[in-house]
Structure 1
């Protein structure tokens, strides 16, 4: 159950990063409120998952899901550049996440 909570926490990190971008520096109310609500939920689930998972593993997986997810959302929804080097970097992060899971 801790791994599932950690996965959801990572997805929520992607959501709050996206809405932080949409808030335009916290000047738009709705995206700002969504940012803080999903940030709170993401941190809460991360904290809960750390009760049974090692801190280094949980934090690495959480940030990795957030980083790769933000990269994908940025490219798919915001038109951010998608170069072979950026894709390779994201693939290396995913590889690291898989190794963290296997090593746990």
Structure 2
């Protein structure tokens, strides 16, 4: 269950980052409220997962899910660079997350 909470926290972190991109410096109420709400939900789920997972592992995976998700959405939908080096480096983050998942909690 802790791993499920952690993955959900990471996915909600993606929502937070994308919402904050659209806040226009916190001047747009809708994206700002969504970003803050998603941040609170993500941190709540992370804290629940931390009851059963090591903090270093959980935090690395949480931020990794967010980084990979936001990067892929940026590439696929926001016209951000998909250079080969960028894709390789994001792939390394993915491999690192997988490796951390394999370690004993």
Question: How would you bin the TM-score normalised by the shorter chain?
Answer: over 0.9
| TM-score, normalization by structure 2 | 0.97
Q: Who is 2:73 aligned against?
A: 73
Q: Who is 2:55 aligned against?
A: 55
Q: Who is 1:4 aligned against?
A: 4
- For these two proteins, the number of residue pairs brought into alignment is 104
Question: What runs of 5+ residues in structure 2 fail to find an aligned partner?
Answer: none
CA RMSD of aligned residues (A): 0.6
Q: Who is 1:32 aligned against?
A: 32
Return the alpha-carbon distance in structure 1 between the equivalents of residues 22 and 87 of structure 2.
24
Runs of 4+ that moved beyond 4 A: none
Return the alpha-carbon distance in structure 1 between the equivalents of residues 95 and 60 of structure 2.
12
| TM-score, normalization by structure 1 | 0.98
Question: What runs of 5+ residues in structure 1 fail to find an aligned partner?
Answer: none
Shift of 1:41: 0.2
- Cα deviation digits, residues 61-104 of structure 1 (max 9, x gap): 00000010110111112111110000001000000000000013
Shift of 1:8: 0.4
Return the alpha-carbon distance in structure 1 between the equivalents of residues 41 and 53 of structure 2.
18
SS of 1:79's partner is coil
